[in-house]
Chain A
């Protein structure tokens, strides 16, 4: 059964969350892109990116996320997480192309961040719409 939580919507919360949206995105992108230089990284930035959808769930509780689509996307991102380090780290390509080490770190942080964001978003939507009491 679907839980109706549209009656508890607050205008103050909606407006404040709308103001916070861009800051959440900028902060998450900053954390992900600077993960190799400053504290942070893909897992942390992905979790922050997932709070964006949590905030959207609070403001606009509509179950319009296609779970199958985002789940398949997450699987594809995991395939990339398996493949790229397999070629670059495990197969030893990093010893021949030293200039690619930093781009590799940035790319991996982006992929891990997107994967964690999709995964936690599925969890939030699942528990929010089907398991909430």
Chain B
């Protein structure tokens, strides 16, 4: 019981700390890049959907690692399941 209360207080304090850090230091938003993307994505990539232009051309690294995350999670799932896994 005491342990649960202590863990709850610790989690709340950590939550408040993270929230404080997030509010005290707002991320600077670089409007130049987004303005460039919005105005030039059709000529640059040939896509008419700006989201597709960004995730398949401007920020391809992001997509590659996003696909890798799915692959790695499936490898982990097949590895750690006891029944019917790869062993």
Contact = CB atoms under 8 A, between A and B. Distances in A.
Given A85-B60, A115-B67, A102 B81 contact: no
A23 interface: no
Interface in B29-87: 45-49, 51-53, 55-57, 60, 63-64, 66-68, 70-71, 74-75, 77-78, 81, 83-84, 86
Contacts of B67: 78, 81, 112, 115-116
Interface string A82-103: 1001000110001000100110
A36 interface: yes
Contacts of A6: none
Given A36-B47, A78-B71, A89 B78 contact: no
SS of B interface (majority): helix
Contact of B56 (A74, A108, A115, A116): A108
Interface of A: 1, 35-41, 43, 67-68, 71, 74-75, 78, 81-82, 85, 89-90, 94, 98, 101-102, 104-105, 108-109, 112, 115-116, 119, 122-123, 126, 129-131
Closest 5 CB pairs of A and B: A101-B46, A102-B46, A36-B47, A36-B52, A37-B48
